[in-house]
């Protein structure tokens, strides 16, 4: 069993480390996604700097790698807590990918992929809320908080499993901690019209650059 645990951890980390945003940006525009826009290696920066469709592709690919890591761990027959650990390692792989000198993204999409496997119905409900908020505010961080604020409660109501409920709190918190440095920068420039803490006036709801940019 120890060998299977190590195998699942390695697979989870390597899957999480696949830098889809970096790969797509290189293939589509020949740029390093970490050196354009906000510098984040994730969905939003890809949408803004590379294009909406490439960005959506990155989003679903990043979700898929988190989900796949968990599904592989389950297929290997690991105990639930080890499956939890593999999901966390997949998110860590996205945030600190071995292929890019450990400089990655913030792990939101990968976190969502992991949680979707454990709690598909609560995830679908919260994802719907997230979409509504992002359409009206263009603020992905705010949308993620709004969408998943009640996620643990829904997990408990649907499944009555304390360990899964606690995990549904811990994993998003791990991701949110990654966003603190950027949030501080946003607070520092809150007076700048280009970036609001509630509504992002610089970008359209679909996160593409305005023609005036």
> Tens of pLDDT along 18-63?
999 999 999 999 999 988 887 888 888 888 888 889 988 999 999 9
The residue that leads in pLDDT, 67 or 40, is 67
Tokens of 185: 């920068």
Partners of 209 in the β-ladder: 203
What pTM was computed for the model? 0.84
Q: Would you list the domain boundaries of the chain? A: 2-188
What tens digit of pLDDT does each residue of 71-107 get?
Answer: 999 999 999 999 999 999 999 999 999 988 888 888 8
Asked whether 36 and 49 are in contact (CB, 8 A), the reply is yes
pLDDT for res 193: 46
Q: DSSP letters along 8-45, please?
A: HHHHHHHHHH--HHHHHHHHHHS--GGGSTT---SHHH
Tokens of 154: 């829904």
Three-class SS state of 118:
helix
| Poorest-pLDDT segment among 13-27, 53-67, 131-145, 194-208 | 194-208
Q: Would you tell me the crossing angle of helices 108-118 and 120-137 to the nearest 10 degrees?
A: 150
pLDDT for res 182: 62
């Amino acid at each position: 069993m120890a060998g299977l645990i190590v195998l699942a951890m390695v697979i989870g980390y390597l899957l999480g480390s696949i830098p889809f945003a970096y790969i797509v940006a290189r293939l589509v525009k020949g740029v390093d996604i970490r050196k354009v826009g906000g510098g984040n290696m994730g969905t939003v920066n890809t949408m803004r700097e590379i294009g909406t469709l490439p960005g959506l592709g990155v989003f679903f690919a990043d979700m898929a790698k988190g989900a796949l890591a968990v599904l592989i761990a389950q297929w290997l027959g690991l105990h639930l807590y080890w499956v939890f650990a593999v999901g966390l390692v997949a998110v860590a792989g996205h945030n600190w990918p071995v292929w890019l000198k450990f400089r990655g993204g913030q792990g939101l999409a990968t976190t969502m992929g992991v949680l979707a496997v454990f709690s598909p119905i609560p995830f679908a409900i919260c994802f719907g809320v997230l979409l509504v908020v992002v359409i009206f505010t263009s603020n992905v961080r705010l949308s993620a908080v709004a969408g998943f604020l009640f996620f643990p409660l829904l997990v408990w109501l649907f499944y009555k499993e304390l360990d899964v409920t606690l995990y549904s709190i811990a994993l998003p918190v791990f991701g949110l901690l990654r966003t603190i440095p950027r949030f501080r920068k946003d607070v520092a420039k809150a007076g700048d019209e280009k970036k609001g803490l509630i509504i992002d006036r610089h970008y359209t709801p679909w996160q593409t650059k305005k023609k005036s940019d």
